[in-house]
Amino acid sequence: MGPAVSHQYRAVGWNPHKRAYDLIAVSVTLLVMIVVAAGTWWRSPSVTVETLVLRTTGVAAFLLLHVILSIGPLCRLDRRLLPLLYNRRHLGVLMCLLATTHGGLALVQFHAGGDANPLVSLLTTSAGWLTIEQFPFQISGAFALSILIVMGATSHDFWLRTLTAPVWKSLHMLVYIAYAAIGLHVMFGALQSEVPAWLGLVQAAGIAWLAAIHSLSAGRESDGDSISASPWVDAGEAARIPDGRARIVCAAGERIAVFRYGHKVSAVSNVCQHQNGPLGEGKIVGNCIVCPWHGYEYAPDTGAAPPPFTEAVPTFRSEIREGRIYIDPRPLPPGTHVPPAIWSPS
């Protein structure tokens, strides 16, 4: 099955590899839930089934969220992990289902037995925002869950196209706010109940892990940028770019993917029109740039997707001077044809 682009609005076609990733994700999640259930029952043999389900779904969802937030920076640190990106949205939907089960059961178990509406009871039970003993950790959890549900409901490509890529991306960046709210939910929930102290250490380790890999990937990405505001940007020696690959430069605040294919050099925007994927981390296959995230294709000399697809990215003029590539940082309208610069190896 070829790369999927806008004509049929499919981010990734179903294939044996994707089914394998989903099967592994579900199997590992079930294994984690079994281990958590067994550990909970071993510590408290009288624990109820409802409590087991609450804890297993909550722990599994929280761990899965750490995995999801780790995939992006890890892929930037090691390109061999890029296939994980193809399954990330499915992991998000799975995590949302677990979190919704956890939150729904908690709402029924703790707030459905009184005279008040369960949602009203949830929002009014605790009011001690400045105290550990009465901090409304359930409200912070409900706030995070509302974000996760919106993200899960808009995970399909229909919403990506309807909302446009920048709006969709901004919406899904709310996952970091949800993560902070879940952190408060877990931390204060543990402090207000009999939970072993090692849980706090595990949570701290998760925060430290995410902070470390995001910092490393941001540093790696900035080290690869050449920042300039001059009329023409020196993108380095053409010979240093592997055939069919690109170097990413940054000029006037915009990242540009400079591709060399044979003796030709073309430059396009580094931002894929599908999910803002990094085109410069992809490669040219069959005369088209292939985005490494979801396989969207663009002609290197026009920035346009092959017919009948309609995506297009801005293009940039390029020149070769004494074996070095120079880029005009002023973007041309998406789909504008720019004759490739010709490189003659010495």
Q: 277-333 pLDDT, tens per residue?
A: 889 888 998 889 999 888 889 999 999 999 888 889 999 999 999 899 999 988 899
Q: Same structural domain for residues 94 and 39?
A: yes
Percent of the chain with pLDDT over 70: 83
Q: Same structural domain for residues 67 and 205?
A: yes
The whole-number average pLDDT for the span 64-87 is: 82
Is 1 among the domain residues?
no
Q: Same structural domain for residues 273 and 132?
A: no
Domain boundary among 195, 223, 251: 223
Q: Same structural domain for residues 181 and 290?
A: no
Domain count of the chain? 2
The whole-number average pLDDT for the span 179-188 is: 89
pLDDT at 13 over 70: no
Q: What's 261's domain CATH number?
A: 2.102.10.10
Q: What is the pLDDT of residues 206-224, one digit of tens each?
A: 999 999 999 988 777 655 5
Q: Same structural domain for residues 308 and 280?
A: yes
As a whole number of angstroms, the distance between CA 203 and CA 52 comes to 20
pLDDT at 23 over 60: yes
Select from 166, 175, 257 the least CA-distant residue to 214: 175
Q: Same structural domain for residues 299 and 263?
A: yes
Look at the block and give the residue holding tokens 């408060």: 184
Global confidence as pTM: 0.68
Please report, as a single letter, which amino acid is at residue 81: L
Counting Cβ atoms within 10 Å, is residue 137 exposed (0-12), middle (13-18) or buried (19+)? buried
Q: Same structural domain for residues 204 and 320?
A: no
Domain range enclosing 86? 6-223
Average pLDDT, the chain: 83
Domain boundary among 223, 248, 282: 223
Better-predicted residue by pLDDT, 250 or 63: 63
In this predicted structure, what is the pLDDT of residue 17?
A: 67
Q: Same structural domain for residues 169 and 235?
A: no
Q: Same structural domain for residues 115 and 173?
A: yes
In this predicted structure, what is the pLDDT of residue 197?
A: 60
Per DSSP, the residues of 152-211 read HHT-SHHHHHHH-HHHHHHHHTTHHHHHHHHHHHHHHHHHTTT--THHHHHHHHHHHHHH
In this predicted structure, what is the pLDDT of residue 126?
A: 62
CA distances, 181 to each of 119, 125, 142, 151 (Å) = 18, 18, 9, 15
Is 30 among the domain residues?
yes
Q: Same structural domain for residues 253 and 300?
A: yes
In this predicted structure, what is the pLDDT of residue 165?
A: 64
Is 133 among the domain residues?
yes
Select from 242, 225, 243, 226 the least CA-distant residue to 234: 226
Is 154 among the domain residues?
yes
Report whether 270 contacts 248 (CB < 8 A): yes
